[in-house]
Structure 1
Amino acid sequence: MATSRGAGGGAVLGYVASRKNLAGSACGVAGVGLALAGGAGAHWPVVVAALYGAGALIAPPERPPVPDLPDPHEQLALVRENLARLREYLAEAGPAPVGGKLAALLELYEALLDPGWAAEVLAVDPEAVHALDRAIRLDVPECVDTYHRTRWWTRWNPGGESSEQHLERQLAVLSEEAEKLTADLREAEARRQRTHTAYLEERGRS
């Protein structure tokens, strides 16, 4: 009950300080002034209430506070931490038959996250950061985990497509995604360079 009363009190205090109440109160005060001047007659309470309601209705709605989103560089720092945890997990999980492809994929991830101009380009692309974090935090661990689990069961029930083949196909897809991400970031830098070239040439002609 105390929590309910506290929540209700907070709502009341919030409305008291809201734009609607302030606008309505201003119009209501104007109505009181009109009544004192004799312009509202015997029905002045109704006039004051109507003016208050009209002011509350025409007041602009409350704007929700801007969310406190993490800084892009803070996001990249978290992704770097996830990559370090991924490396620790892979060391504990044991070797995989496509270790070379897995190592190459991790090196590409690390190069994209390496502090410097590459990370600066990555930081301004939230979708790219999300895709990279998803691959590091979810996709690669799932690929390796399901490989080791399936390989254990295959010992007792051999046959069918091998777990090694599935792992190789999964890493191939992740490698293609990482290469496309790298190409998109490279194209973003190329567009920036072309734009600056066009600006300098235009400035030179003028």
Structure 2
Amino acid sequence: MESRKNLAGCAGGLAGLALTFTGAAGAYWPLVVAGLYGAGALLAPPERAPVPHFPDAAAQLDVLRGDFGRLREYLASVELPPAAAGRLTELDGLLAALTGHEEWASDPDSFHVLTRAVRQDVPEAVDTYLRARWWTRFTPGSEPPERLLEHQLGLLYDELAGVAEVLRDAVERQRESHTYVLEERGGAVKRRRPPTP
């Protein structure tokens, strides 16, 4: 009822009725009214689909924090060898520090790496270890799965440490830029101030 085409058609139909009451439409007034309604409906611009709404970076980070909480619950429920558990503790501390920052809006690539680590890489590495540990009972002499888990967790730590470095550099650049702006504003005020006699 409230579409653009219907409203334009109704306006055309009203114009047809106006022509009818003035006598210009004659005996064919129903065709004139219907024709003007149809012309208005055809000439009206089409309805535009609404622009899709995507969550902003802050909302995405809140969801990721919830996912990280679930990952921590999962990791607390599994039993890992001491060396891998130590690596995982280091990785957990780094992930906690990274998810605590709000600066991810400026670097979506780093946010993707963080998201992939929380939702895919860490749980997959631990789950693969747990499944491989069971199978090594049937294949004695093969490489222990905990060695591969330690290696995978080390690689993930290095990758996320690189992400942390990118984030630190971005924050440092923002801080330096803000300092520069403040210094420029202070210099402009000094230049505008008339000299005291």
Question: TM-score, normalised to structure 2's length?
Answer: 0.73
2:154 is matched by which residue type in structure 1? Answer: A
Aligned residues: 187
2:35 is matched by which residue type in structure 1? Answer: A
Larger Rg: 2
Q: Unaligned regions of 5+ residues in structure 1, if any?
A: 1-15
> Aligned residue for 2:170?
188
Match of 1:99 among 73, 77, 85: 85
The worse-fitting range, judged by mean Cα deviation, of 192-201 and 90-99 is 192-201
CA distance in 2, matches of 1:56, 1:131: 51
> Aligned residue for 1:12?
none
> Aligned residue for 2:194?
none
* Percent of aligned pairs sharing the same letter: 52
The worse-fitting range, judged by mean Cα deviation, of 160-169 and 150-159 is 160-169
RMSD: 3.1
CA distance in 1, matches of 2:27, 2:177: 72
> Aligned residue for 1:40?
25
Deviation at 1:108, TM superposition (A): 0.8
1:19-168 equivalences under 5 Å are 19-65=4-50, 72-96=57-81, 97-114=83-100, 119-122=101-104, 128-129=110-111, 131-158=113-140, 162-168=144-150
2:169 is matched by which residue type in structure 1? Answer: E
Check the 8 A contact 1:76/1:123 in 2, yes or no.
no
Deviation at 1:79, TM superposition (A): 2.8
CA distance in 2, matches of 1:174, 1:19: 55
Question: TM-score, normalised to structure 1's length?
Answer: 0.70
- SS for the counterpart of 1:102 is helix
Check the 8 A contact 1:23/1:56 in 2, yes or no.
yes
String of CA shifts for 1:54-98, please: whole Å, max 9, x gaps: 333343443445656556545434433332322222222101442
- SS for the counterpart of 1:82 is helix
CA distance in 2, matches of 1:161, 1:91: 25
Deviation at 1:129, TM superposition (A): 4.6
Check the 8 A contact 1:32/1:48 in 2, yes or no.
yes
